[in-house]
Structure 1
Amino acid sequence: MNFEPTAEHTMLRTMVEDVLADPTPATPDELWMTFADLGLLGLTFPESDGGQGAGPIEAMIVMSELGAATTRLPVLDCAALPGGLLVDAGSPTQRRDLLPRVAAGTLRMAFAHEESHSRWPLRTPSTSAVHQRNSWRVSGHKSPVLWGAEADLLIVSATGPDGVGLFLVDPADPGVTRRGSATHDGGRVADVVFEQAAAEPLASRRTEDAIEAAQVAAQAALCAEAVGVMTEALRITAEYLCTREQFGVPLRSFQALTHRAADMYIALTLARGMSVYASTALADGLIDQTVASRAKLRVGRSARFVGQEAVQLHGGIGMTTEHAISRCFARLTAIEQTLGTSDDHLRYLMDRVSDYDMVDL
């Protein structure tokens, strides 16, 4: 696919790259507020909701740079994904109250959708919502919830009398119990238990469509981040092969090793093409899980291959958690497991495409 970035796209990429390379924001919270000040947290929100009115291509650029910098900042998990749900399913009052605060970095949200013992895609949550005396109550167990223990407000999917719905839940409610933990890639995850927790329903009755649209956009963003991580992993590996010596000569002198690096480049190129394909399809207004699953499958396979090859070409040092290549591999592994594994997306596609189309899988 021939994708030519505009001058504005180049300026955006340069700005994000410079911010991530700047040592001034010393802590993640400071970097978060820097992103907010630059309008990057509300990048894809409509201008009427306090955002920048940008689209999937701009989101792809930002996520790719975050990946290349191997910076674990929850822009997707705490801003873009829950914000997208609010844009699609929130009432005007809910949007007016919440989205400007998300864009300003003062409100972190999380989407509590996945449940233990379930596989993507989750169609009917076991978490339930009941209407009692002019109020809604949510009960159930959500796990894993990315950055759920750090969120100021949760969007929870639950099955009610009219089907699946989305509800706003304050994690400070007595009916909410959160247990957070660190992930192997430097992120955070939580188990969240709801016991008759007070909830406010989102306005839209087309909840399934809103969830699918948010997940498709998030999967495209994850693909872009993975491409950024793979780009950095290949750069580090190529530099290592050029500088590390064995038997008095650089490792790049060994043809078998350079062939493996070339295979990494091919896998990265395939992933980049599918990432662009997923984001441009969204930019054209095509919200299609089949398109997103094709991209997620290809990117996931490339991510596993590039990560494994990078570690192996580094030898023992590539296994140490302190080394940059180990962090790249950890993040690539986490991305492949988020919003559907490669096996999940392959199963999804096998159920929906013809035998002829399956040749490309």
Structure 2
Amino acid sequence: MTDEQKALRDAVRGVLRRHGSPAAEDGRSAAPPPHDATLWEALVEVGVPALAWAEDDGGVGAGITDLAVVATELGRARLQVPLAETLVAGTIVGRLATDETRREILGALSEGSALPLPALDEPLRRWSPTPTDVTATEGPDSWTLSGTKAPVRYAPAATHLVVSAATPDGSGLFLVERPEVATEEVVLDGTPATRLGEGPEADRVLREALSLGAVLLCHEAVGAMDEALRLTSDYLNTREQFGVPLAHFQTLTQRAADMYVELELARSSALYAAMTADDEPEDVDTVLRTRVVVDRAARHIGREAIQLHGGIGVTAEYAVGHLAARLADITRTWGDSRTHLSDLATRIADHGSVDVLA
């Protein structure tokens, strides 16, 4: 990391120590907490939401690697804020909205007065970026949306929603302002909306925006895995059985070593994905491959951390179970490993073959 990134990491750690939610600190609630306005405001003060946007849009003009530093610390601290979600929504707005709308929303997001979120998932179906339940209808002066999006994390706190919807000509992305939502289920019934984009261009932007958000999810997972391994290592070194620490049992230390290997592979992959996203944001395939690697490591480390802790691993008073729950959540956000591999397989013909013996 650069000196600036180390300073950012230290600043975020300080914020998380001071403003961490009590539910996360004592480890008594495994459910995702509601939007913590106080914590988010503290992150705004150190400039976190402004990192991804150009200075002309009210941002700092940093990069995904800087946001990845923040995401890693959030994962380690077991705290959740809409960092990846605002990156997805903001990227879509930044690339498809008018100049006036882009500057207004991204500037307000950087200042903490706006919270745009993506509304992409639809109930009772596997993840797909192609909408079916929500439909868009063009009227004389504007568009309206009807249907249901769920779950939409942090929806009650949203000031804007970026909604995917089916149109007569395919699918499109729409902006809903000031949504009145009380739960994570967003019900649209003739809701006025502004069209951001439609057709292949909108599909491309959505894929790239989700790819950038997925990079942050990967780094949050790395932070959570790092903390889970630390807790497991401490437990093995302090918990005694038959008069000796558990770390003296070779089978247990070998399993912890396997966790370490998986973590370092996931960390390297996530760092490479972040650097690639900064240089080539259109390179979606690299992020998909990274998600497969990170998802596999997250499942392995989450399970092993609980197993090596024994019964205490699943108690509400201990952190490791909540880390494993968050890792399981990340591996199913915007698709799972099967989804990512299927997506990669559709483009396998685009790659040439190599004769390794030639």
TM-score (norm 1): 0.88
- Is 1:7 matched with 2:3? yes
Asked whether 1:159 is paired with 2:154, we answer no
Describe how 1:37-186 pairs up with structure 2 within 5 A. 37-77=45-85, 79-172=86-179, 178=181, 180=183
Q: Quick one: distance in 2 between partners of 1:159 and 1:310?
A: 42
For residue 194 of structure 1, the aligned residue among 188, 194, 205 is 188
Distance between the aligned counterparts of 1:24 and 1:119, measured in 2?
Answer: 33
**Unpaired runs of at least 5, structure 2:** 24-35, 354-358
Q: Which amino acid in 1 is paired with 2:5?
A: H
In structure 1, which of residues 234, 238, 259 is the aligned counterpart of residue 233 of structure 2? 238
- Matches of 1:255 and 1:197, distance apart in 2: 61
Residue identity matched to 2:185: D
2:279 matches 1:284: yes
Structure 1: distance between partners of 2:134 and 2:311 = 45
The 5 Å alignment of 1:242-261 reads: 242-261=237-256
> 1:356, 1:261 → 2: CA distance?
39
For 1:138 and 1:270, how far apart are their aligned partners in 2? 43
Distance 1:26 1:93 in 2: 40
The farther-off stretch of 158-167 and 83-92 is 158-167
Instruction: Tell me how far 1:116 sits from its aligned partner.
Output: 2.4
2:247 is matched by which residue type in structure 1? R
**CA, structure 1 residues 221+118, in 2 after alignment: closer, same or farther (shift >3 Å)?**
same
Could you say if the C-alpha distance between residues 352 and 117 of structure 1 is closer, same or farther in structure 2, counting changes exceeding 3 Å? farther
Q: 2:270 aligns with which of 265, 272, 275?
A: 275
Cα deviations by residue, 1:21-43 (Å, 9 ceiling, x for unpaired): 23588893221111111110121
Equivalent positions of 1:8-27 (< 5 A) are 8-22=4-18
Alignment RMSD: 2.1
- Tell me if structure 1 keeps the 8 A contact 2:20–2:79: no
- C-alpha distance after superposition, 1:248-275 (max 9, x if no partner): 1111111111111000001101111110
Instruction: Work out the CA distance in 2 between the residues paired with 1:204 and 1:126.
Output: 17
Deviation at 1:324, TM superposition (A): 0.5
Shift of 1:162: 4.0
Query: Which residue identity is paired with 1:46?
Result: A
**Paired residues of 1:68 and 1:225 also in contact (CA < 8 A):** yes
When structure 1 is superposed on structure 2, of 332-341 and 94-103 the one drifting more is 94-103
**Paired residues of 1:216 and 1:289 also in contact (CA < 8 A):** yes
Q: Any idea what the Cα deviations from partners look like across 1:250-308, whole Å, max 9, x if unmatched?
A: 11111111111000001101111110121111111242222111111110010000000
Query: Residue 187 of structure 1 aligns with which residue?
Result: none
Distance across 1 between alignment mates of 2:255 and 2:72: 24
Distance in structure 2 (CA, Å) of the matches to 1:100 and 1:322: 40
Match of 1:322 among 304, 317, 321: 317
Residue in structure 1 matched with residue 211 of structure 2 by the alignment: 216
Look up the match of 1:183.
Answer: none
TM-score (norm. length: structure 2): 0.89
**How far 1:124 sits from its partner (Å)?**
4.4
Q: Which amino acid aligns with 1:227?
A: V
Return the alpha-carbon distance in structure 2 between the equivalents of residues 348 and 172 of structure 1.
32
Is the Cα–Cα contact under 8 Å of residues 88 and 210 in structure 1 kept in the other structure? yes
Matches of 2:98 and 2:347, distance apart in 1 = 33
Select the residue among 337, 342, 348 that pairs with 1:347: 342
Residue 140 of structure 1 aligns to a residue in which SS? strand
Of 278, 295, 298, which aligns to 1:300?
Answer: 295
Matched residue, 1:185: none
SS where residue 149 of structure 1 aligns?
A: helix
Q: Which residue of 2 aligns with 1:34?
A: 42
Q: 1:336: which partner in 2?
A: 331
Greater shift, 16-25 or 191-200, is seen at 16-25
Provide the residue aligned with 1:186 in structure 2: none
Structure 1: distance between partners of 2:56 and 2:22: 32
Amino acid at match of 1:328: L
The size of the alignment, in residue pairs, is 339
Query: Any conservation in 2 of the 1:217–1:282 contact (CA below 8 Å)?
Result: yes
